[in-house]
Structure 1
């Protein structure tokens, strides 16, 4: 978008809290600040609020690098390195940042209630490919042909995924016979290994 700084309508202020991108419930939601809210901006960001155990589901971006900056609470960020065939995992606290390179598969898990972080992009409009969409649209016959996965088992496993999922687990997770586990204790991981995650029932939001 071309912006004329000499125009009377030119402004250098935007409010990310006024534009809701996605809302799971009143404790877990994403707002945004992109060129629609601030025409002069040449980047963009999501303003993310999560409670403990909620995940920004696995996904990737085809056109942007992403920076995660934690304001309050704690998160675990994980990203698949396609060159080393390994998952790089980081325990990120307030004032710390983690990066996802363009095209790399990644996800974020909140470790505390009232976690707040920004995901900042180097382009004004990020493309997003959701892992939930890949799973639900992959035909069971192709899963069997490609990976020798039992067709019926695959179809049953992905049955709860009936729409794009941005923040998980879905609110109806237990209705489908799934489990809603969450990490509440994480030891400090090395940058290239998974942390140990102790699983227990999720807390009741307050």
Structure 2
């Protein structure tokens, strides 16, 4: 059973998400919060697997709440940002802070539950075009790269940024899925990031991959 905390200051949004999540046999809402101030205390008591996090809240927004949550645990819950606007600057900042993906509030029930299952498995929810667009809007002068990848690891990172799965990467590079997993793990370690989404953001912000 995947347990979920819903964080949103709008009661209608919370009720709608709860109805969608609780309709699934493998998902369960174990609590709701109306502001980012409530997230870490709740997570300490109940240890949700996934947090559905609104980004715009009155006291502590979803960006700061994500930062606090990730800093509070060695193995924090996965954070899935819930937003009204796809290219919201708050969304990008939340992703940079460590969220595993984002979900539009207008998303259908099937998209919501699939997104929760994806991040609960430890995977990132990548929307390549949206991430590239948001990164392009936030990057001035690219940061200096302080990591060194092999040629094959660079190929893998570029394919990850395109949204390719491990199987798709394996088929493209004519290698095994297990080898892809090893390369991805090496990339994450060298970049000092926790998941594929953070690796993609790092690749854009250092200029390794162009946003235009």
| TM-score normalised by length of structure 1 | 0.26
Larger radius of gyration: 1
Which one has the bigger helix percentage? Answer: 2
Greater strand content: 1
